Structure formats: C-alpha cells, structure tokens
Structure 1
Amino acid sequence: MSLLTAATWVPWLVIGLPAGVRVDRLPRRAVMLTGDAVSCAVFAAVPPAHRFGALDVGGLLPAALLAGTAAVFFQTAYTAYLPGIVGAADQAEGNAKLHGSASAAQLAGTAAGGLIAQVLGVVDSMPTTAATFLVSFVCVSRIRHREPPAPVVVRARGALFKEVGEGVRLVARDPYLRSLTLFGAASNLFLGGCQTLLVVFLVRDVGMSGTGVGVLVAIGGAGGVLGALVVRGGVARFGTARALLAFELGVPALAPLMELTTRDAGLAFFAAGYACASVGVVAGNVIKAGFHQASCPAGVLGRVSACSSFSTTGPCRWARCSPAGWAPGSGCARRCGR
C-alpha cells in the first residue's frame, strides 16, 4: 500500500516542475481534458487486466504512475485555470465553491466506495472510478469560456530549465510564497504518513468493514464542506493571515483525537478529529489558492503552482482537496489514482 501511494506522487518529483512550464504554454482546458481521458482509460483497463491474469502489484504500479502523471498535469492546469475564467472580485468565492463542491462530492463517493467494492468486488468496481473521470471530462468540455491563444515562444537550448528556474526563484524569493511552501512541505510529510496508515488502522486495529470505513470517513469529512462555507467569513472578520493561522494550526490541533478511536461510541473520536482536520485543510487551501492567484502573474501561475506542489510532494491528497478523497475502504487498488 505504501508503494502504491508513493507511486501516485513520484510523477510530481520527476515531471512536476516541467509540467508547470507546459501548462503555462498550453490551453489549460485542453490539458485538463487530456488528464481526465488518460485517467479514465487507466482505471477502465484494470478489470480486463485482472481477467487476463496481469493484475498484481507489479501491474498496479505502472497504472498508478500513469494516473499520477495525468493528475500532475490536470491539477496544475486546474489551479491556474480559475483566474482566467473568473474575475478578480469573484475569485475568493470561486475557490470556496470549488473546494466546497469537491468535498461534498467526495463525501458521496467515500460513503458509496466501500459499499460498491463489497457488492461488486474491488476489481469490478473500477469502472465506477473510470466513470467519475468521464463525468469530469464532460463537465470540463462544457465550459464555454475559451482561452486566448498561448503566445508562440521560440525556445533556445536549455529554455525549459530556464523557465523552471524562473518559477523556483519566484517562490524562493517571495517571503509569503516561500513560507507557505515550506509549511506545506512540513505538514504534508506527516499527512502523507497518516494517509497511508489510516485505512489499515481502521480495518486492522479498530476492526471496521470497508463499508464502515467509508461511512465513518464521510461523516468526518463533512468538515471539509463546513470549512469551505466558513472560510470567507473568517477572512472577513479576522483577516487573511489570522484566519490562515486559525484554520491551519488551531482547528486541526484536535486531529489527534483520531488515535483514541475504538469500536461503537469510540468512533466519535475519529469523526471529531477527522472533521477538525478537514475544516482546517480545506479552509486553508481556499485561502492559499486565492493568495497564489492574486499575487502571481497569469503567465507564471502554472510554474508557481507546480513548484509549490513539487516542494510538498507530492502534496498528499488530503492537502490538495479534502481528506475525504482518499479513504474508502475498498482496498489500495482503487486508490491508485488521484
């Protein structure tokens, strides 16, 4: 399970920085559509591979790497796309709605994930995962806004590394971007470990079924929706900096309650700790996304996003969207995607 989790984030280390350059030079909507198509194909190929006897850890690792590569380009383009289709005055609301709707969608998926896997089996439930990428493809394709043509750039030898360096230097020299990136790297180191062990802990130590894990995580993950709903009010009342400290450090301080989880009434400890972590992560991401979009020129936003993601690599799924996205109890095979 650790190998599969790591494989999804290896592409961030290998191609994360060059991907930022490409995203700044390509239509971002097209990049997102390609990422969805590749991910859909990867997950749809798992059941046939199983039927031909080619599905083992050795077969899942390439699938995880390919899905992770698609996620690198999709997420980098996704982050840089919003400022181009939403006015500056509406970007805070747009970020909150994107993170809130993502958390809400993940709640439904998490609650259903374990049940679907138990009814259909882990392998036969993979087309459901593929279908979610197909839905994303259709939704993105229906965006009516068309980006202006990317400028034609004549690149000399070594230009790719020069452009990567521009993004890295911008993050390294700006005290705010640098602080946010270092914070993300430190926190994601531990969140990544938590991500890997959480399902194992609930199944082996607490003794929960896959369906129970999905339902419990969905209950706790509702905090992500709450975080998206309250973040704008928190920023308006306390200011961006104080709100960021409160959401990233204050509220998640109750996350260790998850360690006290036991069966029956003891499950409330997990739900409470998980909900607090969800509130802090999602609200903090909304604030940080708005800061990046407001402070970085559109032409380098892809590189700045990629640099930050590379430094936190890979940003664990919890930190990028919501912890509800990674913990249905349907086995590691189903989670080798985004």
Structure 2
Amino acid sequence: MAAFTELVFSGVQPTGNLHLGNYLGAIKRFVEMQERDAQCLYCVVDLHAITLWQDPQALKGQIREVTAAFLAAGIDPKRSIVFNQSQVPQHAELAWIFNCVARLGWLNRMTQFKDKAGKDRENASIGLYDYPVLMAADILAYRATHVPVGEDQKQHLELTRDIAQKFNNDFAGSILAHGHGEQFFPLTEPLIGGPAARVMSLRDGTKKMSKSDPSEYSRINLTDDADAIAQKVRKAKTDPEPLPSEAAGLAGRPEADNLVGIFAALRGITRDEVLKDFGGAQFSSFKPALVDLAVEMLAPIGAEMKRLVADPAYIDTVLADGAERAGAIAAPTLDAVKDIVGFVRRGPALKAV
C-alpha cells in the first residue's frame, strides 16, 4: 500500500432518495479529496441506517444505490476504498470497547439524538442513542486523520476526539508497553464543508433540503432526469428583488442565498464570483443559467446511477473488494486495541508485555 500523509474517512447512510444536498454536501467533496495525498475510505454506513427500522429488501437496494451514486459522481474504487460498514466487523466490535470508554454524560449532550428521537425518547432504540459511539469506531478503526463533516456532525466528531483522548489516557501505560508511542488513536481533525455544504429546500430557504419533505419540488434527486431537474429549478421559490452585486447582500434573503449557493457549488466558485456575472439581474435571467448548469452537472450522474443499479453484481463486487481492503486496515487496529485493553486473542500478540 502506498504511503499517504493523511487518511480520510467518511460515510453516507443508505436511507434512499439521495438528493442535491447529499451531492454538494458530501459526495462531490469525496471526489475532490481523491486528489489529496490521502488514503480515502468511503463507507455506506448500513449499521447506522438500522438505528431506525428499515425494510430489509429496500435496504439492500439503498446500499447499492448509494454505492452507485459514489461511482457515478466520480469516486474511483481503485484509488479510494468503497465499502459497506456491515462487511467489516471491526466497526461493531470496536464500538463495544468504546462504549466502555465513553461516558453517559457525553451522550446525554448529543443534540442530534434529541432531534431524531423527538418527544417519545423512551421508545427510541439504544442504537439511535449510541450512534455517535459507533461513528467514533468507524473513524478510529482506521485511525483516520481527517473527516469531512457538516454542521450537524461536528458535535459527533468532537465526541470521537474525546473518546480517542480518554482511551489514550486510560491505557497510557499499556500503549507504551506495546510499543505504540504515547498516543495510539489520533485526535481526528474535521474538514469543514464549503459554502454550499448546507443546501436548503427549493420551496423554503429556511429549511434544509430533505428526502422526508412531502413536496418533490423541494429537492433535486440524484436520479432525476434533465427534464425533472429543469422543472424543479424553474419552480424554485424566489423573491421579487434583483440579485445583489455581492454576497453580503444575500443576508435576509434565504431563497436567493440558496440558489446562488447552489450555482456557486456546482460551478466550484464563490457566491461573490457568481454575483459578478448576475448582480442586478432578475431571477428570470438567473434561473435559466442555473437550469443549464444543474442539468449539465447532474443529469449524467443520474443516468450513470441508473445504469449501475441495473448491474447489482458489479456493485456487490466493488463493495466486497472495498471491504477486504478496509478490513486489512481495521483488523490490525482492533488487534492492537485488544492487546492494549488486556484481552487474550488468537495468534501471537503484537508485542508481548
């Protein structure tokens, strides 16, 4: 394996209906990160998906659809490692060890559990509550140095760092005795998203774009064809004012800010650069340009996704190969953790105490 200066890990849940927000906030960035001097692992996090009940047959299809989206968007399964979480058992096994390191008070502060569980928290699954610990195991099984995160996951990455630090402190003597230096797990750094990491609804610029929104016109699905993309952009909510000449003028105009942000992210430029061309223009001029750009960038991805989903055997081969390569990284980490913690395992310990 080539020597890399960084190891980047990230995952996407296979919960169906991937949309523009998933693409700009995550998948597009995954493709760009292949150009870094980094080993990139991109995981379909199916263990996380079942923290809420999933139809088993639908879940299989959704795992393959997310994988197809990765590949269609430009992730190269030879340069990066593409796999689904449940095929690499070290994720779940390390999560249990971290359950014994993490503190109840830390999890009680996780706001995303409160948001997802709602008022009926007593009926939420233990998995939903423990989700951040499994996320820590996902990252630290590979001793990842960097993780791309959006605003909704920053708190979970902070917990990952807390777990890593506590493990390093709790087992400092054993870590040294087994020849791992002073710190076994890294304090993983966030890779904060760009200007359009948070894409908002096309019908309400104050709400995040979501697959659960009842209106199909609130989002552009990655499987939408050119006609559907164009129609949704044309119908996107706007305001009556012309576009400002600089990004500061978008304050208080959520729909305008969202559409300009989408254009900027698809083109790979800043909002200010967009407004150099469109400042002072009405939306009747801006929307056709956004339609052309969105169709140019997204329609080929949707077409390629459909082609790949029609070939599940190929997708399964990609996932199996990725799982084997991911396991080759995660297995030595877990073996070392077992030695450090004091477990007796099959085969010789990495270094006898």
Question: What's the TM-score once normalised by structure 1's chain length?
Answer: 0.26
Higher relative contact order (CA closer than 8 Å, sequence separation 6+)? 1
The structure whose residues are more often strand, as a share, is 2
**Structure having the higher Rg:** 2
The structure whose residues are more often helix, as a share, is 1
Question: What's the TM-score once normalised by structure 2's chain length?
Answer: 0.25
